[in-house]
A and B are shown apart, each in its own frame.
Chain A
Amino acid sequence: MTVAPVSSMRSQISEFDRLSAHAHLEAMPTPAVVLDGAGMLVAHNSSAQELLQSEVTAGVGHPVGGLFRVMAERANRTDGVEKPASFEQAIGQVWYHVSAYPVWTSLEGPPLQIIIAEDITRRKRAEFEIRESEARLEEATRIAQLGTYKVYWDTEKVQWSPHMYVIHGLSPDSFKHTPEKYREIIHPEDRELFERYGQMQSQGKALHGAEYRIVRKGTTRWLRLDGRVLFDVKGEPYASFGTCQDVTESKQREQELKNLLRRNAILYEALDASPIGVAVVTTDSIRPEVFYINAEFERLTGYKTSSLAKRSINALRPKDGGGEWDGVMLALQMSDGGSFELSCARSDGTNLLAQLQVAPVRDLPGREATVFVLNLRDITIDRQRAEALLQSQKMEALGQLSGGVAHEINNLLQPVLALSDLGQDIADTDPVKVRKYFEVISSSGRKARDVVRQVLTFARRDVAQLAAYPIGTLVSDALHLLHSGLPPGIKLEYEANASDAQAMVNPTQVSQVVLNLVKNAADAMNGEGMVMVQLGLVDLEQGAADALTLAPGRWIKLQVADSGCGMDAYTLSRVFEPFFTTKEAGKGTGLGLSVVYSIVTGWGGALKLESEVDQGTTAVIYLPAALVVAP
């Protein structure tokens, strides 16, 4: 420590006082100087040395400069020599708290001034930082649309930040805060809730927050309050402060989200209640991935959504075969829809006979689809039902035939019964006549046997094996069985120009086709008219063949024409639908033409109907020719 020289000391200071003052001065951690009443430097400590130099002070006995002079002047100016004075001043980057203390060394004359300059830069900086942080907080709450409040529980005094008024749509000038007034602003349904929250806070129970509604200028707004409780030294809650935010928009979004989730849940439930398997497949990636499957799809395939999701739809393709799936893949690739009957591999390794419908989901018409809805339906039962239908239709046809069959048999039995009876009477007397009787009985018996065979052939439930048959004979046999079952006014004509032609058909089915077509023709004519059945060969050229979706070449053409009531375009467009009928209830099942259609297409042939109202109808069937015997 350097002891500053103290020269020019006043006589009134004793040597002891001088040394004591000096020691005190030097012990001060902060720069300190002593000035006489005229502002001349009397003494300073070593800490002040640097400051004095920077303040251009010549030395003891000379006037002080800079900071100390300002202090000295201020002390003089206020004439507050009796009172200590202080101020803060920055020298460069350093802040000083400067204090002046008068010290009387005698009763006369001005006192000495002890001026102490304390470095307060750190405090100043902290103060600045606090101010800065407060400003930032203010800005942040302003940006966050946060209001802040403070409530003193003992006085019920409430302090609001400016934004609190904005949130509440109130003016700080006109709104005088009392609990009653605030209660009026709160939505009636939420008043109790708000009061309970206040009570909890006043009891020192810190809750995270409360959401309640206010009515602001006639509209309801949602507010969220986040409060903290302040405790006094005794641990008693004395106040609560916190933030307040208008959360109406986020509440609305929350509600919208809830609605959306509910809507989704309903849709999922609805999809799960659907009796049809539904899968959603996306084709964003290289392979078509399963996005979702409903409960029925899970049931049909045995897969769970979790096990099939993100996998390729190809997982459902059977290991062996499954060629129909190529069509499905192509549809997905081409953004196309389609309906496929296929085998679907279940998770347990078995296959399911199913119909798969593919429908693209497009954002806009014509736009390529990357999302597809797949409907899966078990058609095992459909197949069985269709077969049962075919069978029952056949039985119905058999029923229709029975009248004709009975007529045939009865006529054949007539000579058998009558002649065998008569023959017994004349067996001894007229053997020539008896022999003739036997011939007729025998021939009638043979004919009856043929009729029975025909009926049995018809009724037999055989698999529709196709083979080459003489089509002319099959048609004439069918017509023979049929003709006596037709109403009296219906004439039936048969013209066969290709009776030797062999067709790849099933004989039973030929009977069914002929029966159905002729019966339809007869029904269209109200009991009066002509049904013309024609059989011939036809060579189809490319254009004609294309129109029938057949290959060009030689076909057998079977044509059934009537002169009946005909059909309008609407009826014509629907005649192949099963159970579509224009007949009165009980007159027909509506199965006839659909059965004909399925049989003929099953043969690889084609069926075409030409009809106009009141002009009659012509059904043309193209049958695959097996072999044509040259005439």
Chain B
Amino acid sequence: MAHILLVEDSPEVSLSVSEILASAGHTTVEAASGKEAIKKLRGAQFDAIVSDIWMPEMDGIELLKEIRGSGNNIPVVVISGGAPNAPLTYTAPLAATFGANVVVYKPFEKAELLKALETVLAD
């Protein structure tokens, strides 16, 4: 049972991810952009962050830079719609460079995300 900050601009994706997390008994706070996520991080304690990369205002990479820049070591699971071999899109190496603990590629199934989350929470 963990308290998760879910950062995702697509309402449909956000819904599906929060439902997965809820099914495992986790509680979720949603943010539609990196900027919103920063605000919400200030107001509450979270066990982990699940974040998309491409978002308006402040994207996932910017968000990671901000979090790690302020010395926060909170586990971050990046969920990416990009293909690993597509050069112009956000890729795992990029996210990993800026401090993501793990990258899960969309579309993922319930078990995939929950397993990744379990791993980062155990660390």
Contacts and interface: CB of A to CB of B under 8 A. Distances in A.
Interface of A: 400, 402-404, 406-408, 410-419, 421-422, 425, 437, 440, 443-444, 484-488
Given A406-B86, A422-B19, A486-B88, A443 B12 contact: yes
Interface stretch (B37-45, B70-78, B104-112, B115-123): B104-112
Nearest to A482: B88
Contacts of B61: 488
Given A403-B87, A406-B89, A421-B109, A415 B13 contact: yes
B36 interface: no
Interface in B65-98: 79, 81-83, 86-90
B105 A415 contact: no
A440 B16 contact: yes
Interface in B15-72: 15-17, 19-20, 23, 53-54, 59, 61-62
28 contacts: A403-B83, A403-B87, A403-B89, A404-B89, A406-B89, A410-B81, A410-B106, A413-B106, A414-B16, A414-B79, A414-B81, A414-B107, A415-B13, A416-B107, A417-B108, A418-B17, A418-B19, A418-B20, A418-B107, A418-B109, A421-B109, A421-B110, A484-B54, A484-B89, A485-B86, A486-B88, A488-B53, A488-B59
Given A407-B81, A418-B109, A418-B110, 18 more contacts: A400-B88, A403-B83, A403-B87, A404-B89, A407-B54, A407-B83, A410-B107, A411-B10, A413-B107, A415-B15, A415-B16, A417-B107, A417-B109, A418-B19, A419-B15, A443-B12, A485-B89, A488-B53
Nearest to A444: B12
Nearest to A440: B12
Nearest to A419: B16
B86 A411 contact: no
Interface of B: 10, 12-13, 15-17, 19-20, 23, 53-54, 59, 61-62, 79, 81-83, 86-90, 105-110
Given A422-B20, A485-B89, A411 B81 contact: yes
A432 to B, nearest CB: 13
Contact of B12 (A403, A415, A421, A488): A415
Contact of A485 (B62, B88, B105): B88
A412 B83 CA distance: 14
Contacts of A404: 88-89
Nearest to B12: A415
A417 B23 CA distance: 15
B81 to A, nearest CB: 4
A167 B45 CA distance: 123
Contacts of B89: 403-404, 406-407, 484-485
B51 to A, nearest CB: 13
Contacts of B86: 402-403, 406, 485
A93 B15 CA distance: 149
Contacts of A411: 10, 12-13, 81, 106
B83 A425 contact: no
Nearest to A436: B15
Nearest to B9: A411
A495 B81 CA distance: 27
A414 B106 contact: yes
Contacts of A487: 88
B12 A410 contact: no
B22 to A, nearest CB: 9
Contacts of A403: 82-83, 86-89
The 9 closest A-B pairs by CB, nearest first: A403-B86, A413-B107, A418-B16, A415-B16, A410-B81, A403-B89, A407-B81, A410-B106, A415-B12
A425 B106 contact: no
Contact of B108 (A414, A419, A443, A486): A414
Nearest to B22: A422
Contacts of B20: 418, 422
B54 to A, nearest CB: 5
A585 to B, nearest CB: 15
Contacts of B23: 422, 425
Nearest to B105: A410
A616 to B, nearest CB: 21
Name the residue among A412, A418, A421 with the largest chain B CB count within 10 angstroms.
A418
Name the residue among A414, A417, A422, A487 with the largest chain B CB count within 10 angstroms.
A414
A569 B59 CA distance: 37
A408 B12 contact: no
A423 to B, nearest CB: 9
Nearest to B60: A488
B63 to A, nearest CB: 11
Contacts of B87: 403
A421 B109 CA distance: 8
Contacts of A412: 12
A418 B109 CA distance: 6
A437 B23 CA distance: 14
A484 B80 CA distance: 12
Contacts of B106: 410-411, 413-414
A443 B59 CA distance: 25
B90 A488 contact: yes
Contacts of B10: 411
A412 B13 CA distance: 8
Nearest to A519: B88
Contacts of A406: 81-83, 86, 89
A484 B81 CA distance: 10
A473 to B, nearest CB: 21
Nearest to B17: A418
Contacts of B62: 488
